[in-house]
Structure formats: C-alpha cells, structure tokens
Structure 1
C-alpha cells in the first residue's frame, strides 16, 4: 500500500503532479515520471499511473507530473519546457513534508516525455540557457528514456515524409528552417555531451517513434566518450514498454 497525493506546482489546472509514497520510515528516493503523447493536451499523465504504482510498490517515491500541452493556453514554446522544470523544482518545497531524498533523483520519460527527460538532464550543464528557461535546481543523477524523441529535427522530418502535420513544429512554434535556434537548444541530440547517466530503451517494432532515433543518439554519445546504455527490445511496440506486466517493463526495471 502507498499514499497518493495530488499537488499543484503552479496556478494552471495542468501544473500539478501526483506524488505516490511507499511505506517507509526513511526518506524515499524519488523517480520523476513524464508522460508522452507528442506534447498534446488530449494525452495526460494517467497513461503513466500503472508504472508509477509499480515503482512505488518497489519502494520509490514517484512524482508523476503533468504540464501545459499543445492545445492549452501556455502550452508549447516555452511554457511546456518551463513547466517540467518547475514541477521538478517543486520537490524542494515538499521534500521535508513528505520525507523525500533528493540526492539521487531519476527521471523516466516515455515518448515525448523521453524528449523532456533528456532535455532536463541537459539543463544540468547548459546553464547559459537560463536566460530563456527557468533554472533547474534539483540535481538529476540518471535519466531513462523510453522510446524517447531524442531528435526533434529528425522527428519532424519523419512526419513530413509521411505527409503528416507534425506536433514538433507546433511545440517549437515553427519548422527547423523557420526557428533553427530553438531546435538547437531544445533537441536533446543537439545538447550533447551531458554529464548525467543516460539509459535509452526502445522497442524494435515502434511505429510512433522509430528506434533509429535512440540508436543515433546512442552513437553520438559513445563518440563523445560519455556513459550511455541502449536497450533494444525485439517484438516490442510503442506502448508495451510502459505496461508493468510486460517483459519490456522488466527490462526497464533492470536498468534501475
């Protein structure tokens, strides 16, 4: 059993998180969970409830965060980005009340949440960008990207090639040709190297975010002699990776 508490980190209806606490007398290590859905308002944090519950049952405090998304006032550039920073920073405000150990914070992000998780990890070294975004004050020790959008330009190109209207350009407020500087400071692959342990998990049958995005990111990190693990899962599609009863999720647990 565990306690579940909904807490707001801002005034907007989407600026909240759900904190789940294990039964423990000691301060709990924290895993921040960021959901996907290509940053669109029709998707929300409830998709990550099953894995949040599973991780809490395993002894972690989980902070499953919501953020302003495309289709909401303030969603997109730069509100979505600042929201995930503020959501994590809020842990400093609640750590004493809920006995949280912030010395070893892990972030798990799925799909578009994987993009935001890797981008947050890059914030620990790219302090020069604080003029545009809020400062991240909570240290991040590890980031786990589950079928993450590691390369915004590449994802936009994939959508364009399929004749789809890409949510990437809506998030960024323009295409890579129109606002190239934004892509350079928001796309994880452009922000390497970073000094945070990174783990990439991707299903080989993923039709939403092709596994080549994680593979290309992995190769670039390796070239820079930085620490990264890539776990590719056969016969695994996009959402199987966040099903607690699946073998794919067992592989994620192994990375912890």
Structure 2
C-alpha cells in the first residue's frame, strides 16, 4: 500500500490532469455504427502543408466512465505542437462515462459539441457522472468491469483500418507515412497491441498480413504485461477483468497481451513515471526486458517523482517529455 504522502501526491496529479476543460475537436468521423465507434480529429496549429499524424488511444482501465473527453486536452496539446491528431473512441466495460468534464456545453474549444460531431459524439452524461474520478482505490467505490471482450479489440482494429481513408477526407494536412501510435495506461496497451497485429496468432480475427505502416509507438504507462499487471492488481485488477476473469486469462492472453507479441519490428518507446501507483513501473520494465530477450530494443524513459497522470497533463513537465518522444519518432 502507498504511504499517505505518495497517495496525496497521486491524487493531486490526477486532480491537475482532470482540471482542464475538454477541448472540442475540429471534426469527428465514424468508423462503425455503434455510438462509440468514432474518431475525433484535431488539425495541426501550423501552416505547414504536411505534418506527422499522431493516433491517440485514451486510457481509463478500459472502463466506460473514462471516454476520450479526458484526453482531449492532451490531443489539443499535440495539435498545438504541430501534429495532426486522431483520437480514437472504442467500446469499454461498465456503465458510466467519465465523471466531471460533462457539464460544459456550447461550441468551440473547451466546450462539448452536439451529438453529431465533436466531443459529444458517442457518449453522454450518465447516472453517477458526479462521482470522483479515479482508476480504482482512490475513487472511493468499487470499479466497474474493465473492457468488453472482444468488442474493445474489434473497435481498435476497425478504427486503425479505417483511419487512412478518414484522414484523407477529414485531415488533409496529415501525412500517413509519418504515423505514430500513442496511448495512455489501457490506451498504451491498445497502442502496443495495435502495432503488433501482424504477429497475432494465426486465425486471430484482428491479424493483418504485414506490419502496419507506422513510424513507431510511444506507450505511456502502458498495461504492457498482463501477468505482471494482474499480479500487482494494477487499476483494480483491470487486466484480469479485461480478459474475462481467471478462467479465460490464460486462453486469451496470446491474443491480447503485448508482452507475448514480440518482436514487432516497429520502433517502440515506453514512458513511465517511477511513482506511478496505478500501473507500476515493473509492468513497463517487464515488457522492455521481454523485448530485449526477443532481440528487439525498446526505449524506456523513466521519469523520477512522476505518477500516472502527468504524462497526459499539458500543465506537467512530463507531458512535454512525451511530446518530445513522439517528435523523435515522427519527424
């Protein structure tokens, strides 16, 4: 159990990350028929005719109370640094979308747009939306189940497959030849998994025949090794729940666990806070070690005195480090 000082620091970091008003996208497009099968697009705040594309996969332990709204300030931060950004929504477990950040209405940056486009597309306020945010223990209430098997992976695969055509239509400034996948926490898992679809077991419905045309992956505090995450109870046992429980865990891991999908041949960097209480450092280290054993070099950037949420908090120095790691792969 963390000491009081560590828990207080983690709570303050989380509060800071969620203090930013959500930022409406420049456009939203659907990649499927379900309300959660949408992608928000943020145009680069630059006059450059062609810029790298960053695909963002939000975290939240694959639980419905966390939708893409909470990572929209981070997506906007990347757009302000000159990237084209695509923020992917996907189906998650549990009943409630993210608390807070749901009360602002209107149009324009910092507000929620209507149901057809913008941050309002795909999700809405639900009972319990005034509850405190948190991945697990700090929320003060039992966490809902994590993920929807196989829907979560169905959606991420479908979104990545649909993205090139949508980008050409919606975000012409984006250069698909310079695409970087990034994701935070559970989204970090999905980014690693999305880059490893070509090494999924034969017969997996999400498998592709060749590596995706990516410049690389920057995974932020990712759930990168399900066995270690389950052993540590990361995010209130989210990894175990995501795979359906103890009985399905071993059977489904080869299809979902990034640590079992190595090597990928795609440049990969992990960014991890040493003080992370939600997804501990040991999870990222285990993935990096497994990659080395598989003959692949994976970058691991460890940030001292940084917890889980500063990586996506535009007010935090750690977020600038993340943007620089993305830039090193993209430009």
Residue 59 of structure 1, CA deviation: 1.5
Distance in 1 between the 2:56 and 2:168 partners? 20
| Structure 1 residue runs without a partner (length 5+) | none
Select the structure of larger CA radius of gyration.
Answer: 2
Q: What is the aligned length?
A: 248
Partner of 1:70 in structure 2? 93
Distance in 2 between the 1:191 and 1:66 partners? 23
Residue 235 of structure 1, CA deviation: 0.7
Partner of 2:32 in structure 1? 10
| Structure 2 residue runs without a partner (length 5+) | 1-23, 96-146
The DSSP-based 3-state class of the residue aligned with 1:166 is: helix
Paired residue for 1:107, among 169, 175, 181?
181
- Tell me: CA distance 1:178–1:92, structure 2 relative to 1, closer, same or farther (3 Å): closer
Q: Pick the structure with more strand per residue.
A: 1
- Tell me: CA distance 1:80–1:136, structure 2 relative to 1, closer, same or farther (3 Å): farther
Distance in 2 between the 1:136 and 1:37 partners? 30
Paired residue for 2:42, among 20, 34, 46?
20
Partner of 2:295 in structure 1? 225
Aligned residues of 2:192 and 2:258 also touching (Cα < 8 A): yes
Q: Does 1:154 align with 2:228?
A: yes
Aligned residues of 1:110 and 1:146 also touching (Cα < 8 A): yes
Paired residue for 2:69, among 43, 46, 62?
46
The DSSP-based 3-state class of the residue aligned with 1:173 is: coil
The DSSP-based 3-state class of the residue aligned with 1:68 is: coil
The DSSP-based 3-state class of the residue aligned with 2:175 is: strand
Which runs of structure 2 are paired with 1:119-130 in the superposition (5 Å)?
119-126=193-200, 128-129=202-203
The DSSP-based 3-state class of the residue aligned with 1:200 is: strand
Q: Does 1:81 align with 2:153?
A: yes
Aligned residues of 2:228 and 2:286 also touching (Cα < 8 A): no
Residue 234 of structure 1, CA deviation: 0.6
Distance in 1 between the 2:88 and 2:189 partners? 14
Aligned residues of 1:89 and 1:136 also touching (Cα < 8 A): no
| 105-114 or 217-226, larger mean C-alpha shift | 217-226
TM-align CA RMSD: 2.2
Aligned residues of 1:85 and 1:136 also touching (Cα < 8 A): no
Partner of 1:90 in structure 2? 162
TM-score, normalised relative to structure 2 = 0.70
Partner of 1:145 in structure 2? 219
Residue 111 of structure 1, CA deviation: 0.3
Point out which structure has higher relative CO (alpha carbons under 8 A, 6+ apart). Answer: 2
TM-score, normalised relative to structure 1 = 0.89
Partner of 2:141 in structure 1? none
Residue 165 of structure 1, CA deviation: 5.8
Q: Does 1:35 align with 2:107?
A: no
The DSSP-based 3-state class of the residue aligned with 1:105 is: strand
The DSSP-based 3-state class of the residue aligned with 1:67 is: coil
Distance in 1 between the 2:208 and 2:308 partners? 32
